[in-house]
Amino acid sequence: MKVTGTTEPLEPKDVAISVRDLGKMFQLARDKRTSLKERLVRGRSAKHDDFWALRGVSFDVERGTTFGLIGHNGSGKSTLLKILAGVYRQTEGSIVADGRVSALLELGAGFHGDLTGRENIYLNASILGLSRRQIDEKIDEIIDFSGIGDFIDVPVKVYSSGMYVRLGFSIAVTVDPEILIVDEIIAVGDEEFQRKCFDHLYKLRQRGTTIVLVTHSLSLAAELCDQAIWLDHGVVKGIGDVRDVVDAYLGDVNANELARKPLEPEPLEVTGVPKSPRRGSGEVRVDELRILAGRAESDELVLADAPCTVRIEYTAKADVLAEFGLAFIHESGVTVAGPNTTAGKFGLIQLDAGSGVIEYHLDSLPLHPGQYTISAAIVAHGHIYDYLDRAFDLLVRAESTVQEPGMVTFAGTWRHNGVVVKTALDHGADVNADS
Amino acid sequence: MDEIHVKAGRPSPVRSDHPGDPWSYRNLIWTFAQREMKARFKGTALGWVWSLVIPIATLVIYSLVFSFIMRMSPPDFGNGKAGIYFVWLFCGLTAWSFFANSVNAGMSGLLGVGALLKKIYFPAYTPVVGTTIATGIQSSIELGVLVALLATFGNVGWTYLLVPVWAAIFFVFCTSIATIVSMYNVYFRDLAHIIGVGLQMLFYLTPIIYPVTFIPEHARGLPLRRLVELSPFSQFIELFRDLIYGLTPGGWKQWLYVLVITGIVASLAVVVVRRRGQDLGEEL
């Protein structure tokens, strides 16, 4: 993988933002002396813990590109964003921007509840550096874009949260920034407004606006950004093409989740003890259901697009004919698939008294990442021997972001003028093969 | 595709260590002033009338107490007529209330934009200066009423022309103090309470409700009157009364004194803005 901890310097003329060896230290006073009396009485020497929220961060953002910041909570993304916006000053290093920076951190934070929407537009836009004349020219566009209509002359304290956000976004994007810094904003507003935002961001990109964006939605990052940086505890873990960075980050998240799991008191298997009361006459019983994911046996996480086997161990009290069935149920309650031995032309299986094993194998698990439950049933001609409704958890994770909507991946291929189009899925497969 | 309108200019640091001069932020400062003015009496039935009701009520209370109960006698008008305590007091109170209000409004003004300052950079002194301007506009209405009142007693003179000069110096003085106090108040929140008490003490230590001649020359070996006179607040208020009530232009020493003091306080404010006002986004 091309993800490394350092940047290759780009051509200077293409760079809109250049960050070198950036560091930000906060002093975490153990007990903060904010009161004057304490300062006077106990002196200045409160115990400080130096905390480096960022250290040694270097990267360049090319003009006209969209740059994503990803990382878990507390990784330093927001601190970096605030330094980029000029709200914080760095402790060390340099940060140089070429062009007017407009920051959009937490929409509508600067609104004054008692003033009307129109008055707040003047206030916020002049903070963003517009003159009164410029605002006069833009104000209709801003009001129009926000879709607030007649409410514009009403104090903003009566606005709904959606209106608040829409007005804030409208102001920030209509001031025509050269460099736009955006903090996790797209997740707000209704569907229609979100689309408008995306359209507008797209237009800004077309015009050559450089955008720096923080988001927790990795698929959004992959969709919007060209390049990305992955921060972990204030240091750069990866930088480069957004897909590589996101994949590397996801790999790390998966590894962490796996590493954490064994600490839980419950048995390690996905499976094992059924959760819900079972039904059925009990001549045949499921003893255990295991999911064998591609690489190691008893992986609790199953990777999408990787081989997967569901193994049922059963005990029959007598010789019976039976049919086995499984159901894969998505967290939303939808049954995604329900394979069974009858539909597979397998027919009823002759079971001898004693225990046995039956397996259902998939070469490539077509489920998208998410939480699923599995039901298992052993039946015969409508008679239920054993039925375990949603008794087993199945956690599907991906090593790269899923580029398609929905719950399942079809094993289809695209052809363009007769030539097979290589898709992102193939790219993902390559990455897997490499590692 | 739209034309590419972004020009490669000169790369510059996102934040310079210089906070930027007030003139280049005049637009923002004015916006803060407007916001303060609009928000101050928003939602009240009387609106801006309150900005006159409050000082007049204060004036009536002090007049009742000091001219009827304490029987304070004021100096004569500049035109030679016998002085009226309530008019004389009005002069001092107008100047004082501008100072006290700008310090208090400056502190709450800066804390009020805290949420904003955390999200976007602008110099932290701009909301303070904005609120002082708003306070100044409110005080000029009072001043207008005062001038009208003095005119009805025929107490008008050429020294009125010096009032704008005095007002400009006093404005810089008050704004500087408001800025210093507001910035430190972010770091030490106790300051707001200390200032509350301090202002009250200062009010009685300044010849506002009494003439400076009321103070004994010496008390317990201290040249008490001299000390009170040396206070810049006394100087500003005395000078204002000279101009508007006594109709004398004031001595050049007095003018020099208030100018030098204002220069010192303003320089101090600049230092505080540079040293303390840059990282308020982290503190608020």
**Would you give per-residue pLDDT tens digits along chain B (284 residues)?**
333 333 445 667 777 777 778 888 888 898 889 888 887 777 677 777 887 888 888 888 888 888 777 777 788 888 878 888 888 988 999 999 999 999 999 999 998 888 778 877 888 999 999 999 999 998 998 899 899 989 998 888 899 999 999 999 999 999 999 999 999 999 888 899 999 999 999 999 999 988 888 888 888 878 888 888 889 999 999 999 999 998 999 889 999 999 999 999 999 999 999 988 888 888 77
Domain count, chain B: 1
Taking the whole predicted model, whether its pTM rises above 0.90 is answered as no
Q: Taking 70 as the threshold, does the pLDDT of residue A189 lie above it?
A: no
Q: Identify the weakest region by mean pLDDT among A32-41, A400-409, B87-96.
A: A32-41
Angle at Cα A357 formed by Cα A351 and Cα A358, nearest 5°? 85
Number of Cβ pairs < 8 A linking chain A and chain B: 124
Give the CA radius of gyration of chain A: 28
- According to the model, what pLDDT value does residue A108 have? 59
Decide: A226 and A242 in contact? Cβ < 8 Å: yes
Report if residue B32 sits inside a domain.
no
CB contact under 8 Å between A115 and B279, yes or no, is no
Average pLDDT over residues A147-160: 87
- Portions of chain A given CATH number 2.70.50.60: 284-397
Tens digits of per-residue pLDDT, A283-310? Answer: 888 888 888 875 544 456 788 888 888 8
> What pLDDT was estimated at residue A392?
82
Instruction: Please give the DSSP secondary-structure letter assigned to residue A151.
Output: G
**Pick from A37, A101, A126: which is nearest to B31 by CB?**
A126
In a domain, residue B2? The reply is: no
pLDDT beyond 60 at A32: no
Interchain CB contact of B16 with A (< 8 Å): no
The predicted pLDDT at position A46 comes to: 54
Neighbours of A199 (CB within 10 A): 10
Q: Which of residues 210-269 of B touch A (CB under 8 A)?
A: none
Q: Is A262 helix (H, G, I), strand (E, B) or coil?
A: helix
Angle at A229 between CA A227 and CA A230, to 5 degrees: 140
DSSP code of residue A67: E
- B92 within some domain: yes
Tokens of A233: 């505890």
Pair A94, A274: CB distance under 8 Å: no
Nearest CB partner across the interface for A132, out of B3, B27, B122: B27
- Report whether B29 contacts B130 (CB < 8 A): yes
Q: What CATH homologous superfamily does A12-257 map to?
A: P-loop containing nucleotide triphosphate hydrolases (3.40.50.300)
Q: Is the pLDDT of residue A145 over 90?
A: no
- Indicate if the pLDDT at residue A70 is higher than 80: yes
Query: Among partner residues B2, B31, B115, which is closest to A207 by beta-carbon distance?
Result: B2
- Chain mean pLDDT for chain A: 78
Residue A24 is encoded by which pair of tokens?
């930000």
Whether the Cβ atoms of residue A145 and residue A196 lie closer than 8 Å to each other: yes
For residue A3, the model assigns a pLDDT of 46
Measured distance CA(A374)–CA(A394) in Å, rounded: 7
C-alpha–C-alpha distance, residues B274 and B279, integer Å: 10
pLDDT of residue B264: 97
A332 CB contacts (<8 Å, ≥6 apart)? none
Give helix B26-40 / helix A117-127 axis angle, nearest 10°: 150
In chain A, residues under CATH classification 3.40.50.300 are 12-257
Residue B164 domain boundaries: 45-283
Higher pLDDT, A113 or A34: A113
Give the residue with greater pLDDT, A13 vs B271: B271
Judged against a pLDDT cut of 60, whether residue A269 lies above it is answered with no
d(CA A164, CA A109): 9
How far is CA B28 from each of CA A90, A226, B148, rounded to the nearest angstrom?
Answer: 25, 35, 33
Q: pLDDT at residue A100 above 90?
A: no
The rounded distance, in Å, linking the Cα atoms of B158 and B152 is 16
Q: What CATH number does the domain located at A284-397 have?
A: 2.70.50.60
Question: Are A248 and A230 within 8 A, CB to CB?
Answer: yes
pLDDT given for residue B2 in this prediction: 33
